Structure 1
Amino acid sequence: MADDPFALFDAWFAEARQSEPNDPNAMALATADADARPSVRMVLLKGHGPDGFVFYTNREGRKAADLHANPAAALLFHWKSIRRQIRVEGKVTLATEAESDAYFASRSRDSQLGAWASDQSRPLDARETFEARFEAKKAEFEGRDVPRPPFWGGYRVTPDRIEFWQDRAHRLHERRLFTRAGDGWTEGLLYP
C-alpha cells in the first residue's frame, strides 16, 4: 500500500491510460459561485504532481467566475474500465504564466484559434457565428504563431483531501482517504 497519495495517483492513472478507451485524463470539476450554487463539468487534466492538479480554460467563463468568487474546487476521476475513482478537494490558484504559455503552445493550431474565437459559456445565437469568428481568427493569424490569449490560462487545484475508491463485490467497496497534515499526509479508511 502506498502512503503517498501522488504515487498512488500515478499508479492508478497509468492503469487508466492503458484501459480507458477515451480521455483517461477527463475529470469532473465541481465549483460553487459566490452564492454557494454548485456547478460541475468535465475538463482535462494537463499536469499533476505534489503541487496539485492542473487544467486550462478561458478565464472569463462561468467556471473562472466561480473560482474567482470561491477559490476551492473538487475533482473526480472516474475510470469505469478499472472500476476505480479518485476524488480530490482543495484550494485553487492560477497556474503560472510560463506554464500557461507552454501548454498553449503545445495545443493544435485549431485549438489555439478556437480559444481566441470562443466567448466560453456565454450565449451563442448560432453555430455559424462561432464558425465565422474561428475563420476570422484563422485569417488574422495566418503565417504566424498563435499567441496565448490574455484571458486564457491554467488553474491548479492543490489538494487537502484525496480519496481513492475501489469497486468491490456486493458494494463492499474500499475507500482510502488521504488528508493533508502540514507538509505530509495522514491516511485512513472510510466505510463504503
Structure 2
Amino acid sequence: MHPLRDSLRPLKSLTSTPPPFDPSAAPDNPLELFVQWFTHAVEAGQVEPHAMTLSTVDADGVPDARVLILKDLTDDGWWFASSSASAKGVELTANPVAALTFYWPAVGRSVRVRGTVTRGSEEDNARDFSRRGLGARAVALGSPQSQRLASHDESEAAIEEAARELDAHPELVSPTWTLWCVRPESVEFWQSDAERRHQRLRYSSQGQSWSTTLLWP
C-alpha cells in the first residue's frame, strides 16, 4: 500500500477562527458551557453538531469507538440510544464507563466527556423507540446489530419483515432498545489555535460541585 504521508502533509487543519473564549468567565457547571458551545456550533452551520464519538472498553480491556447521535442533555448527563445486544451495549453492560468526543471544526472546538453509564427506564426506552421513524424502528427490530451477516439480501429480507410487523402492530417495541446516560466525572473543553496554542479547560466532579483546571495545549 502506498504511504499517505505525502498526501496528508499538504492538507490544511484548524482553519476556522474560534470565537473569543475566556476560561476565567466560564460557568460553574460544564453542562451550561456545553449548551453555549453547542448552540454556537449550530448557529455557525456546523454539519451534524449532535454527532459524537462514543468510546467503550471490551472484555479484554481493548478500546472501541463509533460515531452516533446525542439524544438529550439533562442534569444527569449526555444521553444516547442503542440496542443492549449490540457490541457497545454488551460492553457497557459489562463495564458501564464511557467517553464521548464532540468535534466542531466549523468553530474550532471540541468537547470530551468521561464518566459512568446508566440505563434509562423501560418506559423511557419504549417512548424513545416509538418516536423513531418507521425505517429506523424496522432496522432495530429486524437487525441483530453487530452480528455476522451472510449477505445484504439477508438483512433486507429481515428488515422488510420487521416493517410489515410494525405496519400491522405499530405499538411494537424492541425489547433491547435502550437509552444510556453518560454521567460526567470530567468534561474538557478544547478551543483550537492555528499556532497550536490551544486553550483547554477541564471540569472535574467534586460530588455536588465542580472544580476547573487549565491544561497545557
Q: In the alignment, which residue of structure 2 is the partner of 1:187? A: 212
Distance, in Å, in 2 between the alignment partners of 1:102 and 1:85 is 31
State whether structure 2 residue 23 is matched by structure 1 residue 23.
no
Distance, in Å, in 2 between the alignment partners of 1:163 and 1:42 is 19
Shift of 1:35: 1.6
Unaligned runs of 5+ in 1: none
Q: In structure 1, the residue corresponding to 2:167 is in which secondary structure?
A: coil
Q: In the alignment, which residue of structure 2 is the partner of 1:153? A: 178
1:56 to 67, 81, 105: 81
Unaligned runs of 5+ in 2: 1-24
Structure 2 CA distance for partners of 1:46 and 1:172, relative to 1, 3 Å: same
2:198 to 169, 173, 179: 173
Structure with a larger share of its residues in strand: 1
Distance, in Å, in 1 between the alignment partners of 2:131 and 2:29 is 30
State whether structure 2 residue 107 is matched by structure 1 residue 82.
yes
Distance, in Å, in 1 between the alignment partners of 2:157 and 2:100 is 34
Shift of 1:39: 0.3
Q: In the alignment, which residue of structure 2 is the partner of 1:35? A: 60
Q: In structure 2, the residue corresponding to 1:12 is in which secondary structure?
A: helix
CA RMSD of aligned residues (A): 1.2
Structure 2 CA distance for partners of 1:147 and 1:25, relative to 1, 3 Å: same
Find the structure with the greater CA-based Rg: 2
2:161 to 124, 136, 147: 136
Q: In structure 2, the residue corresponding to 1:119 is in which secondary structure?
A: coil
Q: In structure 2, the residue corresponding to 1:169 is in which secondary structure?
A: coil
Aligned length: 192
Q: In the alignment, which residue of structure 2 is the partner of 1:126? A: 151
Shift of 1:21: 4.7
State whether structure 2 residue 92 is matched by structure 1 residue 67.
yes
Amino acid at match of 2:53: A
1:136-173 CA deviation, whole Å, 9 max, x = no partner? 11222224314221111111100000000001231000
% same residue? 35
Q: Bigger shift: 108-117 or 84-93?
A: 108-117
Distance, in Å, in 2 between the alignment partners of 1:121 and 1:10 is 32
Structure 2 CA distance for partners of 1:146 and 1:52, relative to 1, 3 Å: same
